[in-house]
Amino acid sequence: MKKILFITIGMFFVALTAKAQFTTYGKIEYERKVNIHRQLDEMADDAQNATWIERFKSKAPKFSTSYFDMYFNTNKVMYKPGRESENQFKMFGGGPAAENVVLTDLDAHKVSANKQVYDQKFHIDDSMRVLKWKILDEVRTIANYKCRKAVSIICDSVYVVAFYTEDITVSGGPEMFSGLPGMILELAVPRLYTTWVATKVELIPPKDSDFEMEEKGKEMNQGEMVGKLQESLKQWGKMASRNIWWCAL
């Protein structure tokens, strides 16, 4: 009887210790879903255009799904395209942010990114973006991690919703999002009708090669890229703003 009691107590302390451990490295897969129909609806600004849009919607899936991988440790975070999706709809040449690669150096507070916007390629070197996050009480479980809700704004008016976990102590997330007391496992940008949700977290130590980046495109910082795109897309009307928001991610 005493032996059984000691074994039970031992198992309890092992479980308690395991639960208290925090994740400091690994690989996260994110599923990104874009509501194509809602994006198309915004383009229907007159009767003639609306007719064409409805025809296009009848042939397009409601959602386009793609996958991105994130490798992370206490020093670096690398976000890049992952496995192929059977339900990826590439509208108008794929659109911005379809192939983004983002490397964040947490020690140096620097970020490097390769971004392609239609036929233009950019390599961004800049300091890490600082967002004013508001942490809320809502909690949900994502990929078996308890996550808390936070909200912020980019581009002066674009609302962002994140769910982060303190059980992964690295402050990172999809694209260039960071600055919360833990890892972002779900992100939503409602005005882009887009969400990123972690499907799994693998506790595997990243290799040095997982953080390697080949620099592609015109070199500039994030502000310079946005200014250049505002100039080149100014004839696009309200669609210009949407593309700028994508590039600001």
The structural domains of the chain, ordered by start, are 23-247 (2.50.20)
Residues 137-158 have pLDDT tens digits of 999 999 999 999 999 999 999 9
Average pLDDT, the chain: 86
C-alpha triplet 82, 83, 89: angle, nearest 5°: 95
The predicted model gives 221-245 an average pLDDT of 83
The predicted model gives 121-133 an average pLDDT of 96
The predicted model gives 80-108 an average pLDDT of 81
Locate 110 and state its tokens.
């620097």
Other C-beta atoms lying within 10 Å of the C-beta of residue 224: 14
Confidence (pLDDT) at 9: 43
Q: Residue 93: is its pLDDT beyond 50?
A: no
* 121 membership: H or E segment, kind and range: strand 120-127
Residues 54-88 have pLDDT tens digits of 777 777 788 889 999 999 999 999 999 999 877 66
Residues 170-184 have pLDDT tens digits of 999 999 999 999 999
DSSP β-bridge partners for residue 103:
78, 112
Confidence of residue 36 (pLDDT cuts 50, 70, 90): confident
Q: Which residues contact 119 (CB under 8 A, 6 or more apart)?
A: 93
Burial string for 15-41 (b: 16+ CB within 10 Å, else e) reads: eeeeeeeebebbbbbbbbbbbbeebbe
Confidence (pLDDT) at 186: 98
Confidence (pLDDT) at 21: 65
Other C-beta atoms lying within 10 Å of the C-beta of residue 183: 26
The predicted model gives 211-235 an average pLDDT of 89
Residues found in the chain: 249
